Amino acid sequence: MTETRLRFPPSPTGYLHIGGARTALYNWLYAKKNGGKLILRIEDTDAERSTQESIQGILDGLKWLGIDWDEGPYFQTEFESDHEAASKQLLEADKAYKCFCTKEELDVKREAAQKNKTQYGYDGTCRSLSAEEIAEKETAGLPFVVRFKVPDKDGEIGYDDKVLGHIKAQYREIEDFVIVRSTGKPLYLLCNVVDDIRDRISHIIRGSDHMTNTIRQVLLYNALEAPVPVFAHMPLTLDNKKAKISKRKHGEIVAVQFYEEKGFIPWALSNFLVLLGWSPGNDTEFFTQDELIETFSLERINKTNSIFNYQKGNPKFFTDPKAISFNEHYLRTMPIEEIGVMVKPFLEKEDLWDVAYEGEKKEWYLTTLDLIRDRFQVLTDFGDRGRAYFSDEFTVEQKPLKKNVLKHEGLKEWLPMLADRFEALAVYNLETTEQTARDLATELDVKPGVIINGMRTVVTGQLAGPSMFDILMAIGQKRVVARLRDVAKLYEV
Ligand code: GLU
210 Cβ below 6 A of ligand 1? yes
Domain-embedded: residue 84: yes
Contact 38, 163 (CB under 8 A): no
Query: Which of 189, 207, 237 is a domain's end point?
Result: 189
Q: How far is the CA of 132 from the centre of ligand 1 (A)?
A: 39
What is the predicted pLDDT for the residue at 1? 61
Q: Is residue 119 part of a domain?
A: yes
pLDDT of 316 reads 64
In a domain, 99, yes or no: yes
Residue 237: φ, ψ to 5°: -105, 120
Pairing of strands 165-170, 156-161: antiparallel
DSSP helix/strand/coil, 160: strand
Q: The domain that contains 132 carries what CATH number?
A: 3.90.800.10
Inside any domain, residue 374: no
Closest CA to 378 of 209, 211, 222, 258: 258
Q: Which residues of 81-100 are buried (b: 16+ CB within 10 A; e: fewer)?
A: eebbebbeebbeeebbbbbb
Q: For residue 481, what is the domain's CATH number?
A: 1.10.10.350
Q: Cα of 276 to ligand 1 centre, how many Å?
A: 19
CA-based torsion, 341, 346, 349, 352: positive or negative: negative
- How far is C-alpha 154 from the geometric centre of its chain's CA atoms? 44
**Nearest atom of ligand 1 to the alpha carbon of 207:** 8
DSSP state of 229: P
**The amino acid at 383:** G
Does ligand 1 lie within 6 Å of residue 43's CB atom?
yes
Domain range for 444 is: 395-493
Cis geometry, peptide bond prior to residue 73 (ω within 30 degrees of 0): yes
* Pocket perturbation via mutation, ligand 1, pick of 43, 44, 75, 161 by most ligand atoms within 8 A of CB: 43
Does residue 136 sit within a domain?
yes
pLDDT digits (tens, 9 = 90+) for 272-314: 999 999 999 999 999 999 999 999 999 999 999 888 887 765 6
What are residue 179's phi and psi, to 5 degrees? -115, -20
The domain boundary, picked from 165, 189, 213, lies at: 189
Number of domains in the chain: 2
Last residue of a domain, one of 167, 189, 211: 189
CA of 188, closest atom in ligand 1? 1
Q: Is 11 in the pocket of ligand 1 (CB under 6 A)?
A: yes
Is 88 an annotated catalytic residue? no
Q: Could you give the CA distance from residue 357 to residue 263 in angstroms, rounded to a whole number? A: 19
Report yes or no on 199 lying in a domain: no
The pLDDT value recorded for residue 250 is: 82
Is residue 403 assigned to a domain? Answer: yes
Calculate ∠ Cα 352-354-356, nearest 5°: 70
For the chain, list residues with pLDDT below 70. Answer: 1, 312-317, 355-360, 493
Q: Which amino acid is at 19?
A: G
Domain presence at residue 130? yes
| C-alpha 346 – ligand 1 centre gap (Å) | 34
Our answer on whether the CB atom of 206 is closer than 6 Å to any ligand 1 atom is: yes
Ligand 1 centre to CA of 230 (Å) is 15
Options 247, 316, 361, 402, the catalytic residue: 247
The burial class, CB within 10 Å (0-12 / 13-18 / 19+), for 107 is exposed
- Quote the ligand 1 centre to 41 CA distance (angstroms): 10
